[in-house]
Structure 1
Amino acid sequence: MATQYGHGGYGQGYDTGDDEGRYGYGPHPGRRPRLPAALRAPFEGRTWRELGYVLLSLPVSIVLFTWTVTMVSLGAGLLVTFLGVPVLAAALAGSRAFGALERARARALLGVDVPGPEPLQVRKPGAPAWMGAVLKSGASWRSLLYSLVQLPWAVFTFTVAVTLWTLSLTMLTYPLWFWVFPAYAGESGLQLYGDAHHRIYLDNSFEITVTGLVGLLFTLATPWLVRALTTVDGLLVRGLLGPSLLSERVVELESDRGVVVDTAAADLRRIERDLHDGAQARLVGLAMDLGLAKEKMREDPQAAARMVEDAHGEVKTALQELRDLARGIHPAVLTDRGLDAALSAVASRCTVPVRVEVDLPSRPAPAIEGIAYFTVCELLQNVAKHSGARSASVDVWRAEDRLMLQVTDDGVGGADASAGSGLAGLKGRLDAVDGILLVDSPAGGPTRVIAELPWRG
């Protein structure tokens, strides 16, 4: 269903701020590098830090592998005695300590910031409890696995990186040092091929130039090849030395719970403020006016009638304020008729013409439906206040087990959810229910915001 709506007043309860900076609208100036990335790579500090990481990986992995194999073999051999368990616990504890050093090395040289794994769950004091916690910890065994896997990978990356960089720089600088062969080696140049009957030297100007150009190509390509290798190192550190998926999920849920609590508290404060400053104050004044009208009923019936008539108007105004407030909490049209009708009502009150299209086979869970409704309300409020758009559109559909929302406008663009704006707060509220908010808003527009929510029908 597609509907076009025109101008009108926007409903209450969806205001997220009046400053354009809150939503980050407007162009974001930036400075572009003069050289493309392919030409900058050999001169960037990141390239040489990655090379340093690869060069250090070999000695570090040898130490890790030696520690792990020695201690595990010793502990396994001593399991028949009471010494085996402490040795195995020491092996795992050492692997965890080496893991902390590896995370620090990856953070310093690769820029890969991996948080530490979950701490040991030591239930009671004493060495036996500590050893039991170490042996039961999945992070300890992942650290031990990292020590075993890192050595063969470090040997491979060390060999590839050293070979590529040596070959690249040797060929690139060959035009500068080829003269050493005729001057000191008694040969005309670098020997490319040779047997008992025939030899090929890189000794003329064309061959020397081609060698230098090939070296240049290798020099430009080598940083990217080494970067690909260190990307695997980053994945190893993140997967084996970081927190487990379960612990990350627990931390995420705790954070989301805090967001939900803060949002609920803010909503309650807003409702209390609106009631106190709006309908409650109006009803108090209404009660006082009716009291005065009651006193004047016998003395001046006409004045009392006028006061009652004014009070009747105040009652209508108070009722409208209460309706608007109830709409901000949870609109009745959403409960009764679903997202299609509720979003159509919102679009009809927006100051920008909005096209609404809702294609849903059924209704999602009420909580998800409410979040989707208020998400669109905030996005349309953003469009009306800050985008300078002439038109906007809202599309809602279901994709497998996800409820998809898309709000687009033809405004100035430049919206940024990472700039601490109202979009950032909206993103946090969606994260609390495993939702996703994606913003595509180049300077000059158009702006497209996509929200994904779990269906949970």
Structure 2
Amino acid sequence: MNDSIAEDGNHPRARLTPASIASVAVGGLLLCTWFWISLALLVTGISLLPALGSGLLLLLPWLLLMQLIVRIERRRAVAIHGLRVILPAQRSSRRQGVAGWLQNRWFELGTGAFWRGLLHHHLAILVTGLFFLAFVVLLWCGWKGAEIALVHGPVELGSRELSQVALAVISSVCVLLAAVMLGLGALADRGLARGLISGSEGDLREQVAELAERRQGAVDAAAQERLRIERDLHDGVQPRLVNLAMTLGIARSAIRADPDRAERLVGEAHAEAKGVMTDLRQLARGIHPAVLTDRGLDAALSALAARSRIPVTLDVDLSTTGGPALDREREAVAYFVVAEALTNIAKHAAASRAEVTVDQDQGTLHVRIRDDGRGGARVHRDGHSTGLAGLTDRVRATGGVLELSSPPGGGTQLHARIPLTSEATTTRAMTRPTTEETLR
């Protein structure tokens, strides 16, 4: 769903369309059928709960069906009434398969948006159904009045006589009121949708808080990167440049007194200059590797695996079937997740091998790195060993999730889930970005 109730920057004006009129007729049909079935299931399920919880056999299927209906109602509000639906950020399961699906359904039951949608569904049926029944009654009265005026002529009501003209006027008024009932039903349906499922000020506040958290993640990631570059320059390149300058200074003073020594020192300075150039290339690669821009994520990860000091099994599948494309920002995030993970494995894990898997699934980029090392990895924000904290901030800035599982002695597994579209980062894909640490 979209992220505001405004259309084209303003609140859309109420308007009657054939679709909105038809929705009133559908509401009348549902009032005579599904409305009472739904209430009967709810009341029966609640009344059977004391009987060893047997009412759950009715309530659970009813709640699952209601979740589907609420989604349909949101789409109907967008398609028929032109509203834009606000959905606050919602927890998402980190499990896979049926267990993950069931946990997502449980999380949805805990949201106010679902219960407002459930209330809206039944109120909308009740209100539009009553307006439709009023339409049917008034239309029938108008038809009967016209029939009496044309077939039977004047009608006596007590001491008064209604002429054919009066009957025609009454018939016309009834038909007009019937049409008004349809219009009022459509407007009432739109008002209920706007008030209950299009969102609220609280939802907007949650969205603002979510975006502020992601912005803070981007700021933290940038700060971590700046500190890393400063540390690499100060501890790596700067001392070598100072040593190079000192070597050249000694060589210059020894040119006339000891040419052989000067030549040897110049050779050392030349070798040192090459080493500094290598360090600078490595530093530039750490900022943004050229191969990532020139040849894409697959080639960049292949280069990382080739340079790794431990054997790396790499599996990259970025094929898409009409889904969202992988942009440069998310390519860079995926690259640095793998790069930092492989660096940590080489330095700290004492692992003999590592596996890297990158694939796309339903608008999400999955990056998984596993090793068979000592485990025990943690996210630190105390100024020491903050590599995983930096990765957490990078992934969080995209609206994604970084999961860490590192039991002592059981190896380490990182799983980054990176949404591929802006919509996915601000709506119900809606995963609240965190880093999960699991000890098994």
* TM-score, normalization by structure 2: 0.47
* TM-score where L is the length of structure 1: 0.45
Question: Relative contact order: is structure 1 or structure 2 higher (C-alpha 8 Å, sep ≥ 6)?
Answer: 1
